[in-house]
Structure 1
Amino acid sequence: MVQVKTFVFNPFSENTYLLHDETGEVIIIDPGCYDRSEVDELAEYIKVNALKPVQIVNTHAHIDHVLGVAALKRKYGIPFALHKLDEPLLKAVRTYASNYGFSAFEEPEIDRFIGEGQTIEFGNTSLRIIFVPGHAPGHVAFVNDAGKFVIGGDTLFRMSIGRTDLPGGDHATLLHSIREQLFTLPEDFTVYAGHMEPTTIGFEKRNNPFFR
């Protein structure tokens, strides 16, 4: 059975996720680890649990979600996947990273593009990709039906939603994505968001103020 390990990294308090199962294979989702101590914290978990990293996949390419991609690609020799529509966001990070104090940001190379209808495979685990634009133009989420959870990135938060005032954001599009892609999942699905604590589909359908 797949396990979800959460790390909270960088000044944006971004959630980085490691997903691994009984085979020991692990994927890294949205690595926000920037300084050496954060990279070492993630690496120590991988070492102690005898895990084998096989790929990095991102929900989207805003700065707080990509700070650790290049370092982890180099450390483990693994590929990086992103939706094609978020490639411009990734390339833009280097132009403003220093404004946020990330002067040592290194832009990673994208090894393959992912999109809706595809799956992410590792070990005995499969994640299906759904397209949830609005916070970012190429934003995707990763659904594990067997484990009843979704890695949602910056779409749906506990009692909130992602920002839409950033380049490529659109409020109406985000609300539509949540209603049509996330709220159609079973209510007992856990939502692991890009920030803050997990929530569930059912709780947000009943309580999220953006959908009352």
Structure 2
Amino acid sequence: MKIKKFEFNPFPVNTYIVWDEDTHECIVIDAGCYYPKEKETLSEYIRDNALTVKHLLATHLHLDHNFGNTFASHEFGIPLEADKADEFLLAGMREQAAMFGMELPDSPVSIGRYIKNKDTFTFGKHTLHAISVPGHSPGSLVFYEPDERVAFAGDVLFRGSIGRTDLPGGSYVQLVNGIKQKLLVLPDDTIIYPGHGPKTTIGYEKENNPYF
């Protein structure tokens, strides 16, 4: 399995393309591309590696993780997939952008398929498993590949930190309990690819994260 990380938009957000080397099927996670050049960068990578996009997944639908979802959905002809619990965030996205002095590059695309806990997403010989870990947002998800021992955690878990919980629908208790019960039980060598910043491991976070 190959993993390509891009840092997109001013926040910046980690956008991941995860793909199978044999079939060239791939999944796009958190299309955060905001500027036209970022959109072209995403498309070029897909095109240059002859990839077929099977799924467009959102770990959650906060503004910074959603900038490029409309573009990616139209460009690759696939629906946005996200947890229904975050759907309310789409309605206020234009106003949220204005608070940061920004305009949305595109009107938010609707969720085309709702993701539930334990849903699976296959690309080639690999399968991502959805793990619901609310608290940063009501619909926050982690996508875990058990054979490769990698997880794409969005803003649930960072190296040495956790996602903020002071945004609408956030809950500190819910987030910390969810991480303890659903993520820290994964193998210690599981690599965590977060929505911002560098990757980490479950083992490192168990030993060093001050929130646990």
TM-score category, normalised to shorter length: over 0.9
Aligned to 1:100: 100
Match of 1:13 in 2: 12
TM-score for the superposition, normalised by structure 2: 0.96
Distance 1:140 1:104 in 2: 23
- 1:152–1:194: 8 Å Cα contact kept in structure 2? yes
CA contact (8 A) 1:132 1:174 kept: yes
1:128 is aligned with what amino acid?
Answer: H
Give the Å deviation of 1:75: 1.1
1:85 aligns with 2:91: no
Superposed CA deviations along residues 131-180 of structure 1, whole A, max 9, x for unmatched, are: 10010001111110111111011011001110011111111111001100
Question: What SS does structure 1 have at the residue aligned with 2:134?
Answer: coil
How many angstroms apart in 2 are the aligned matches of 1:104 and 1:178?
A: 32
Q: Which amino acid aligns with 1:47?
A: R
Equivalent residue runs for 1:61-72 within 5 Å: 61-72=61-72
The equivalent of 2:198 in structure 1 is 197
The residue type equivalent to 1:205 in the other structure is K
**Corresponding residue SS for 2:87:** helix
| Whole-angstrom distance in 2 between the partners of 1:58 and 1:76 | 15
Secondary structure of the residue aligned to 1:146 is coil
How big is the shift at 1:201?
A: 0.1
Whole-angstrom CA distance in 1 between matches of 2:50 and 2:210: 42
Counterpart of 2:50 in structure 1 is 50
| Deviation of the 1:62 alpha carbon | 0.2
CA contact (8 A) 1:31 1:67 kept: yes
Q: Which one-letter code corresponds to 1:109 in the other structure?
A: S
For residues 158 and 147 of structure 2, the distance between their equivalents in structure 1, rounded to whole angstroms, comes to 22
The separation in 2 between residues aligned to 1:98 and 1:67, in whole angstroms, is 13
Give the drift of 1:117: 1.7
Moved more, 104-113 or 17-26: 104-113
RMSD over aligned CA atoms reads 1.0
- Shift, 1:101, TM fit: 3.5
Percent same amino acid at aligned positions? 44
Deviation readout 1:175-207 (Å, 9 max, x if unpaired): 001100110100000000000000000000000
Q: Which residue number in structure 1 is paired with residue 113 of structure 2?
A: 112
* Contiguous gaps of at least 5 residues in structure 2: none
Whether the 8 Å contact between 1:54 and 1:79 is mirrored in structure 2 is no
Q: Distance in 1 between matches of 2:40 and 2:29?
A: 16
Runs of 4+ residues over 3 Å off in structure 1? none
2:24 maps to which residue? 24
Distance 2:123 2:65 in 1: 21
Amino acid paired to 2:100: Y
More divergent stretch after superposition (43-52 vs 96-105): 96-105
Aligned to 1:75: 75
C-alpha separation in 2, matches of 1:137 and 1:130: 13
Pairs within 5 Å for 1:124-139: 124-139=125-140
